[in-house]
Structure 1
Amino acid sequence: MEHHGHAHEGHHAGGGSGWRTAALATLHCLTGCAIGEILGLVLGTAFGLHNGATIVLSVLLAFVFGYALTMRGVLRAGLTVGQAVRVALAADTVSIIVMELIDNTVMVAVPGAMDAGLGDLLFWTSLAGSLALAFLVTVPVNRALIGRGKGHAVVHAHH
């Protein structure tokens, strides 16, 4: 059996809707989202982009990196690029949307966080807190999706 390189592989048999599986799937998704989110916020802040443009850039990059991590694994398992795109879209879209809504809402809601510079502790603590909260909110979402054979459960069909 060829694996797709996700941290949650091997945890889908029998207890696919369990909290551990959902947490591992969410952690995988958070990795891609966090890379894109951090890169977008850093670039937006460094280039002095308006807050709205910074958020758009962060969200776009979160989707790119989130999908890319899933595609990397399923491509190694032998899927074509087209199949890998479809699996990534099915596996990650809802999770990424929830994470992005939560973490960007927190960044906007924390006074001064979006306007803080890269050397400002407020920027980094707000970002870390927003990603942690996004993880906590998204775990139950992923648990429900996996329990219905959706979300990251789609990836496991392609081992």
Structure 2
Amino acid sequence: MTPRELTNAAISATLHCLTGCAIGEVLGMVISTALGWHNAGNIALSIGLAFFFGYTLAIRPVLAAGVPFRQAIGVALAADTVSIAVMELVDNAALLVIPGAIDAGLGDLLFWGSLVASLAIAFVVTVPVNRWMIARGKGHAVAHQYHHQHH
């Protein structure tokens, strides 16, 4: 893989991860707000949902390639665990650092602006992590062999 292909693969893997994380963050905020939860519950639920949706998005092309479900779970875990963990760590740290972001509600521009900013920061930090892992045959490289293979 050329350096450019490696970088493109890392960007693709990170965008994929970003999608699952964003879905989890927003859904976690919606649910925790509806239930009247405070910050710790909100963060825990959002992280849990980010992992759930990240893995769900990772497993789909693997299952579509005809891989049995149990094996596909293993591929998804190997492909996205580090990426999602880095993304969530950076994303939540940014939300805690941005003044007022953690207490902003769904109707606040601060919530959406902070979410976009924190996910953008997490994306920039996670791309090189994914690039490093893919270059070593780890992370998203584990799942890449199953992409675009439809039986």
Q: 1:50-104: CA deviations, max 9, x gaps? A: 1011000000000000000111110000001101100000000000000000111
1:1-159 equivalence runs, <5 A:
14-15=1-2, 18-158=6-146, 159=149
Contact preservation (8 Å) 2:24, 2:49: yes
Flag structure 1 segments of 5+ consecutive residues without an equivalent.
1-13
TM-score if structure 2 supplies the norm length? 0.91
Poorly superposed stretches of 4+, deviation over 3 Å: none
Q: Which residue is equivalent to 1:9?
A: none
Distance (whole Å) between structure 2 residues aligned to residue 48 and residue 112 of structure 1:
18
**CA RMSD, Structure 1 to Structure 2 (Å):** 1.3
Please say if residues 46 and 118 of structure 1, whose CA atoms lie closer than 8 Å, have aligned partners that are also in contact.
Answer: no
Contact 2:29–2:106 (8 Å) recurs in 1: no
- What letter matches 1:15 in structure 2? T
Find the residue that maps to 1:114 and give its secondary structure. Answer: helix
Contact 2:30 2:106 in 1 (8 A): yes
Tell me if the contact between 1:29 and 1:96 (Cα under 8 Å) persists in the aligned partners. yes
TM value normalised by structure 1: 0.87
Q: Give the whole-Å Cα distance in 1 for the aligned partners of 2:105 and 2:137.
A: 42
Structure 2: gaps (5+ residues): none
Please, which moves more after superposition, 71-80 or 103-112? Answer: 103-112
Aligned equivalents of 1:34 and 1:69: distance in 2?
12
Structure 1 range deviating more: 29-38 or 14-23 = 14-23
Work out the CA distance in 2 between the residues paired with 1:79 and 1:72.
10
More helix by share: 2
Q: Distance in 2 between matches of 1:83 and 1:131?
A: 30
